Amino acid sequence: MKFDLSKSLEILSNTPSVLESLLHGLSNEWLYSNEGPDTWSPFDIVGHLVHAELTDWMERMDIILNKEDKHFKPFDRFAQFTESKDKSISELLAEFRTLREKNIKNLKDLNITEEKFDELGIHPVFGEVTLRELLSTWVVHDLNHIAQITRVMAKQYKDETGPWVEFLPILSK
């Protein structure tokens, strides 16, 4: 599928509801369990998504579209461990929804033309990237972390599935 902003907004707009449906009201065992050392729990992942809404997508879009210096600041992929530590999952989900709704409104208000999607920014690792690539990555980033949350949760019952583990590829990845 080729990048299409309206199709991208379908995913970006639905992510808060998906996360709320998946995580709201769950016990701590589901929310704070992970896959082992140096892995993230569903709570950590939502915190990461909140941090990205605050410091990544819109900030980098602004650099591409409006700044003379096109260099992106490095993104702290682990900021959620300090920024989210005193919050509940309900607070994180509400914060994510509020930030995402604001970011989507701001994105729509930009009325980006097709030629603007080829504008460049400079990523600290990858070098030149286009706005189209940034926006596509935002969508896939959401989908990646939704899949990660479900994988982490599924693995909590890996040992309990017995012989069915063979038919459940989510448990072997």
Both structure tokens of 124: 């600290």
3-state DSSP assignment of residue 90: helix
Model pLDDT, residue 40: 97
Model pLDDT, residue 76: 85
Angle at 11 between CA 8 and CA 13, to 5 degrees: 100
Model pLDDT, residue 150: 98
Say yes or no to pLDDT of 134 above 90: yes
Say yes or no to pLDDT of 78 above 90: no
Both structure tokens of 29: 């065992």
Q: Determine the Cα–Cα distance for residues 110 and 5; give it in Å rounded to an integer.
A: 12
Residue-wise pLDDT tens digits, 96-107: 999 999 999 999
Say yes or no to pLDDT of 81 above 90: no
Domains of the chain: residue spans and CATH: 5-171 (1.20.120.450)
